[in-house]
Amino acid sequence: MFLVYKNIPKATIDEMLHEQNGSKRKVLLENAIKTSYTGIHKDIFYEFHFGNLNFCLSNSFTSEKISCLLEIFKQVFDRSLSERLSESQSFDIFKSLLLKHSVQRSPRSIAVFTVPEVKKVVEFALVSFFRHFSLYTYAFLPNCNLSLKNVNRFEGVFPMILRLEEGAEIVPETIPALDEYIIKPVIEEPPRELDSEEEEALITDPLQYLLEKELKLIKTELDEKIKKQDEEFLAKIEVFKK
């Protein structure tokens, strides 16, 4: 339930505390923490834990605190990569494990670290593991490169002419479906020849000529409307006579 001396015995921790040579201390750490990583992953894994061990030594942590903190970092590291956790999910696990060993509330938690030590551990974790979280995930998680290629799913029927320059231009007017979209040229009527009186009026007073011409057109339209109404009225009277 608790991580103090769970995987690293007290004798091993004491041996690392008394060892002054850094290389030999690293060997002792590698022998104490087992992993299935190989190659470059194994080197990164042990460099990560060796940095955690040096942090513990620089803060004069006891063997009990060292074993607990190393195991906390190991669980967070392994779970974050094996379960493909996000940075926030990984930090939640780290926070819960650290608080579990920072408050004396048996049997749920024990006070391994003091409040000032908890603050130091959190600050160290933020600038070490979580600051480079994306690099760790990139280095340990497999990358999948997506490769796309074209395949013929359907066999199409090729046209008679394959080369555009060998084709002939089609006149749009010959296609009935395009008839409503074609702008047809406007055929202008030839100007009407003016008689002598109209020509003289247009030269002497063009404004008066145009005004009289427009009035004649209006009078003609009114006469046609009146004639049509009279015819409809007479037709109705004939119906009533019958």
- AA identity, residue 58: S
* Domain ranges, residue 111: 10-140
> Total structural domains in the chain?
2
Domain boundary among 114, 140, 166: 140
Q: Do 105 and 222 fall within a single domain?
A: no
Q: Do 205 and 111 fall within a single domain?
A: no
Residue 183 lies in a domain: no
101: CB partners within 8 A, 6+ apart? 2, 3, 4, 68, 72, 109, 110, 111, 112, 113
How much is the pTM?
A: 0.56
Residue 78 lies in a domain: yes
- From first to last of its 242 residues, the chain has per-residue pLDDT tens of 788 888 888 888 888 888 888 888 888 888 888 888 888 888 898 899 899 999 998 998 998 999 999 999 999 999 998 888 899 999 999 999 998 898 888 788 888 999 999 999 999 999 999 999 988 888 887 766 777 777 776 666 655 656 777 777 788 888 888 888 877 776 666 655 555 666 666 566 666 667 777 777 888 888 888 888 878 877 777 766 55
Q: Do 17 and 87 fall within a single domain?
A: yes
**Containing H/E element for 76?**
helix 63-82
Residue with tokens 């006469």, as numbered in its chain: 223
Q: Do 97 and 212 fall within a single domain?
A: no
